[in-house]
Chain A
Amino acid sequence: MNEKIIRLPFFQNMLNLLVLAVLAVLCVFPILHTLALSLSSATAASSGRVTIWPVEFTLQSYQFVLENPAFGKSFLISIARVLVGVPVNMALTILVAYPLSRSKREFRARDIFAWFFLITVLFSGGLIPWYMVIKQTGLIDSFWALIIPGALPVFNVILVANAFKSIPKELEEAAAMDGADHWTILFKILLPMSLPVLATVTLFVAVGHWNAWFDGLILMNSPAKYPLQSYLQTVIVSPDPRMLSERDLALLKIISNRTTRAAQIFIAMIPILIVYPFLQRYFTTGIKLGSVKG
């Protein structure tokens, strides 16, 4: 479309740009404000002088946070969770997506398995039975509780299976003629050809692991085993003295301070900000796959 042909009338155009600019500012403002708070002095913050620029600049809050071993530990648990969880999720996703992307002629039980997985999206036992099963399998208080129960993200299987289906059949047929088996077709043809989709799904899974807090909160008995977001939930969002050890309580006095709270929030945001440019790049690919499929 030639955008130059007709524009909005001048006044409407200006109004349009203004509203969009305001929306954009509203989206970044709370984040900039948090950053500014974290870099301001405690007195400046509590006297309400900070908006989006640090007042009485200091790195003290960050120093407090980084010197707190509980924060550092939960940060590392979250990193470990991403590093272990993402490969596990991706491996299972790909291994399930391949059989489900075959034709019924190639894999007669395809529909049975598709429904087997799909039903788990449609219906679940609910919170308590889910918790009991994880307890029965001995995962409570174990790092693996954060990885194994959610190891197969069914929605991602659908995305990847659809990507596999969209690759021209002729390629696989030619490979099969040359004697390629299922594993060869998957690893040598389908995976290399679906890299954009796999990249999208990988990033989404990584962000999901980084942001997960609920499982850590209820599956770990001691806060020392919390991933970062669960830790932040207990110290920032709903400080619950019953959940904390005495040393944590002493720390809480310092870390519930407004500027250190902001510093912790901002540090937790940093990994997301780092992958954000990549998220954007692959973003539309992922969305298009998720929406209408002809």
Chain B
Amino acid sequence: MYSRRKLINEIPLYLMLAPAVVLVLIYAYAPMVGIVMAFQRVLPGKGLFGSPWVGLDNFKFVAQMPTILQVIWNTVRIAGLKAIAGVVVPVSVALMLNNVTSHAFKRTVQTVIYLPHFLSWIILAGIMVDILSPSDGVVNRLLGLVGIKPVFFLGDDKVFPWTMVVTDVWKSFGFGTIVYLAALTDIDPTLYEAAVVDGATRGQQTWYITLPGISGTIIMLSTLSLSNILNAGFDQIFNLYSPLVYRTGDIIDTLVFRTGIMNNQYGVATAVGLLKSIVSLILIAVAYKLAAKWADYRIF
């Protein structure tokens, strides 16, 4: 069965994989070895195994950081709110678009709403900082027209997390909407015909046919978003936050960045990163198990 010919036949397959395997070994697996830094006091120039071992000191240091619990809570809170809004808004918009009878209108709306998805947070942060400015931003100017006092969207720590959630939804709901619209096209049209015969209104059709029809996709995407509960959006927050809003806006990833890259506390930053990776891994495993069970989802 496992003849010589078969092995020869497999050689091209190994050749195809070779370059990628080398790259992944270097740039994905070698950094995993670097995790030992979490147990060292990393000295510059001493290399990976030249620095003194300090056991769990870095972890103790992290546990004693005065802000650590707040940062974890900020992360979970912002990520959780984004996850909820990230399901509710696209599903609602998809259902609303599904009720539109004019094709031209539907197409135009679809075309416009997912443009922000393809713009980077650098560009969007540049735009946001300008339009959300309390003194001369266009948003506060428009709010002023209806008598609302200027809101410091990016500088008030009570408002900041909500600004993050709303701007994130603004960037991504269009993309999500298209995913749900694609799921809508898979619903068997005869169900609607039967409903019409039975005298169901458009609203009843949405409730009893459309929504159950896309519930598989909804469950799958919500479950998978569970694995992102420690990812509150580094690109967005890093480019929009400031010390003014650290109390509610500092998240694990921004903390790691500041400790590691700005303050050169490599050991501590790696320790935080390691804890995050482990929790994320568990969450991903659970999410995929649940997605496989509830929505029959498999990646391979």
Chain A interface residues (CB < 8 Å from chain B): 1-8, 12-13, 16-17, 19-21, 23-24, 26-28, 30-31, 33-34, 37, 46, 48, 50-51, 92, 95-96, 98-99, 102, 106-109, 113-114, 116-118, 120, 122-134, 137, 148-152, 158, 161, 181-183, 207, 210-214, 218, 229, 232-233, 236-238, 258, 261-262, 264-265, 268-269, 272, 276, 279-280, 283-284, 287-288, 291-294
Contact = CB atoms under 8 A, between A and B. Distances in A.
Given A48-B136, A137-B26, A288-B182, A261 B130 contact: yes
B257 A127 contact: yes
Interface stretch (B9-17, B60-68, B74-82, B156-164): B9-17
A291 B179 contact: yes
A133 B26 contact: yes
B126 A152 contact: no
Contact of A99 (B16, B23, B123, B193): B16
Interface string B192-229: 11001000111101000000000011001000000000
Interface string B266-293: 1001100110110001001100000000
Contact of A107 (B10, B100, B119): B10
Contacts of B141: 48
B134 interface: no
A129 B300 contact: no
A127 B239 contact: no
Interface residues of B, number: 97
Given A33-B131, A268-B120, A269-B119, 17 more contacts: A26-B170, A37-B130, A51-B138, A107-B10, A122-B281, A126-B31, A126-B274, A126-B277, A132-B48, A132-B266, A134-B27, A213-B122, A236-B129, A262-B130, A265-B127, A292-B216, A292-B217
B299 interface: yes
Contacts of B274: 126
A150 B28 CA distance: 9
Contacts of A46: 136
Contacts of B114: 283
Contacts of B31: 124-126, 129-130, 132-133
Given A95-B20, A233-B239, A213 B120 contact: yes
A192 to B, nearest CB: 18
Contacts of A258: 130
Nearest to A265: B126
A232 B122 contact: yes
B69 to A, nearest CB: 21
B56 interface: no
Contacts of A12: 203
B93 A20 contact: yes
Contact of B118 (A24, A33, A116, A207): A207
A182 B13 contact: yes
Given A27-B115, A95-B20, A237-B129, A129 B34 contact: yes
Contacts of A262: 130
A24 B119 contact: no
A30 B127 contact: yes
23 contacts: A16-B96, A24-B108, A24-B109, A27-B112, A27-B113, A33-B138, A92-B23, A96-B17, A114-B300, A120-B29, A123-B281, A126-B276, A127-B256, A128-B261, A129-B31, A129-B32, A131-B260, A229-B122, A265-B127, A269-B119, A283-B114, A291-B179, A293-B298
A128 B37 contact: yes
Contacts of B26: 133, 137
B183 A291 contact: yes
B216 A236 contact: no
A28 to B, nearest CB: 6
B18 to A, nearest CB: 9
Q: Which of B30, B31, B174 has the most CB of A within 10 A?
A: B31
Contacts of B14: 99
Contacts of B32: 123-125, 129
A135 to B, nearest CB: 11
Please provide the 6 A-B residue pairs with the shortest distance between their CB atoms, ordered closest to farther: A129-B34, A125-B31, A126-B273, A211-B120, A129-B31, A120-B28
A238 B17 contact: no
B297 interface: yes
B182 A291 contact: yes
B20 A152 contact: yes
B146 interface: no
Contacts of A229: 120, 122-123
Contacts of B113: 23-24, 27
A287 B185 CA distance: 13
Nearest to B257: A127
A123 B280 CA distance: 8
Given A8-B202, A238-B239, A265-B123, A292 B296 contact: yes
Q: Which of A8, A114, A294 has the most CB of B within 10 A?
A: A8
A132 B130 contact: no
Contacts of A106: 9-10
B150 to A, nearest CB: 12
A129 B272 CA distance: 12
A149 B140 CA distance: 43
Contacts of A181: 12
A240 B86 CA distance: 33
A280 B130 contact: no
Contacts of B277: 123-126
A112 B9 CA distance: 18
